[in-house]
Amino acid sequence: MEKIKNYINGELVAPIAGNYIDNYNPSTGAIYSLIPDSDKDDVELATKAAKAAFPEWSKTPKETRARILQKLASLIEDNLDRLALAESKDNGKPLKLAKTVDIPRAAANFNFYATGILHYASQSHSMEGTAINYTLREPIGVCGCISPWNLPLYLFSWKIAPALAAGNTVVAKPSEVTPYTAYLLSELCIEAGLPKGVLNIVHGLGHKVGAAITEHVDIPVISFTGGTVTGKQIISTAGTMFKKLSLELGGKNPNIIFDDCDFDKALKTTVLSSFANQGQICLCGSRIFVQRGIYNKFRDAFVEKTKQLKVGNPLAEDSNLGAVVSKPHMEKVLSYIELAKEEGGTVLVGGHQVKLEGEFENGYYLAPTIIEGLSYNCRTNQEEIFGPVTTIMPFDTEEEVLMMANSTVYGLASTVWTQDITKAHNMAAKIHAGIVWINCWLLRDLRTPFGGVKSSGVGREGGFEALDFFTEPKNVCVKL
Ligand SMILES: NC(=O)C1=CN([C@@H]2O[C@H](COP(=O)(O)OP(=O)(O)OC[C@H]3O[C@@H](n4cnc5c(N)ncnc54)[C@H](O)[C@@H]3O)[C@@H](O)[C@H]2O)C=CC1
Ligand SMILES: O=C(O)/C=C/C=C(\O)C(=O)O
């Protein structure tokens, strides 16, 4: 069986202790490769390599760094089909999604920061003839980047690209649930001519590799995307070591649909925002609030459209949903559906596992699920499920829906559907979230700040925010 390798000091290497864990294909439930079960010794080796590479990489002209990262982006584009197939096999997502979203976005992340760094400049503040301040932005050192399984290469590269562009070196850990495209990326880094030690990829479990990165004294910066519980563990270690932290965590995002919306657009996008990537995007809308005047009409049309979605082999062109990422995750989502029923919810569509035939009979498939009749403050409506499950609830007034929308510990994203521009702006101002989409969803401009408030995270990714995060400001005041 194929053994995935770590990428340390420019070379593909086996884990020091020689241990491996199984890698499953969620669409079949079969083990198809082995992942290094690395430990703190591998992290130590990677950190040493990253530390040794830092002086030269940080002094390499930004134009040279940009050229190498652009070469990497081109190689990702050249390998689109291979990478998309690998992502679909590792994660269970529809191949067409990996081809049109995940892999192009990974290339875009490298291109964006390769060019972004060329436009990133020092600020200066003049003190009217007395003095002038200029603020240098310097790379920090070795950065730890820890990423999740839902958008594997997309989110892995979203961290690595700005860290490297800014002149840092990196020790990165992809999710052990979906390691394969990070492994392929390491091959492409070698082909792109990334100097050895600049990027190091250590595969393995969160409580071993992730924890070793988090607590390493020579890694002063941690950028993490994943679950809120893990985020808390990272803060409790890295916070006390005064590390610079960026945490992009969970969401329980409201979709707020007013009577005066463009009905067809709101409906079409709500189907997408509920079930894209099997509902495994931190930005998916998982609580749908519909104003009473159109509630019945919207609910019935939403159920009808959801019934038409095909759950199937991720490689098939006509599959709308593939498999969820793992058996434990499927069981977690199913347990929330049971909880919803106990809490008085009615399953309008879905609510069960989908059994496919032939080689897919042991895959982890779930029917897209809509649940009605729950109170806004029950556990189903407060906790992140992270699967193809959404709830639908009526509301009457702006005040009422704001109260319900803002009632969770999360505050990542929201959508608002209305033709009334004043109402849209008022809602945007009052929603507790880092991102508000008005009459759209997941329309991404990579220059914008990306992240959440409350338990959805700390800090922002995207645009110059990420370059600010991956650099340290130094103010120099010159007396005139
Ligand atoms: N982007 C998001 O918002 C995501 C949210 N989640 C949520 O989190 C729940 C749990 O999913 P998991 O796979 O367990 O996500 P997770 O948060 O445990 O995994 C994310 C990354 O963190 C690493 N990690 C785990 N424990 C760590 C530790 N102690 N120190 C450092 N790194 C550690 C993992 O190996 C992985 O690379 C999901 O059901 C979902 O609700 C999961 C993945 C992505
Ligand atoms: O940057 C984006 O466009 C999307 C990011 C999505 C996540 O961070 C997530 O699902 O965890």
Q: Which residue has the CA at smallest separation from atom 9 of ligand 1?
A: 227
pTM summary value: 0.97
Q: Could you give the angle at which helices 103-116 and 62-78 cross, rounded to 10 degrees? A: 170
Residues with CB under 6 A from ligand 2: 148, 150-151, 155, 158, 225, 248, 281-283, 444, 450
- State the CB neighbour count (10 A cutoff) for residue 100: 13
Q: How many residues does the chain have?
A: 480
* Architecture of the 2-249+454-479 domain: 3-Layer(aba) Sandwich (3.40)
Locate tokens 């009457």: which residue?
396
The CATH class of 253-438 is alpha beta
Hey, which residues are catalytic here? 248
Q: How far apart are CA 419 and CA 66, in angstroms?
A: 43
Express the helix, strand and coil content of the chain in percent, nearest 5 each.
45, 25, 35
Residue 301: per-residue pLDDT: 98
| Of residues 52, 44, 470, the one with CA closest to residue 216 | 44
Residue 117: per-residue pLDDT: 98
Q: In the chain, where are the structural domains located?
A: 2-249+454-479, 253-438
Q: Are 245 and 237 a contacting pair, CB within 8 Å?
A: no
User: pLDDT below 50 — which residues of the chain?
Assistant: none
Residue to substitute in 105, 223, 281 for testing ligand 2 pocket (most ligand atoms within 8 angstroms of CB): 281
| Ranges assigned E (strand) in 373-422 | 389-395, 413-417
- State the CB neighbour count (10 A cutoff) for residue 430: 13
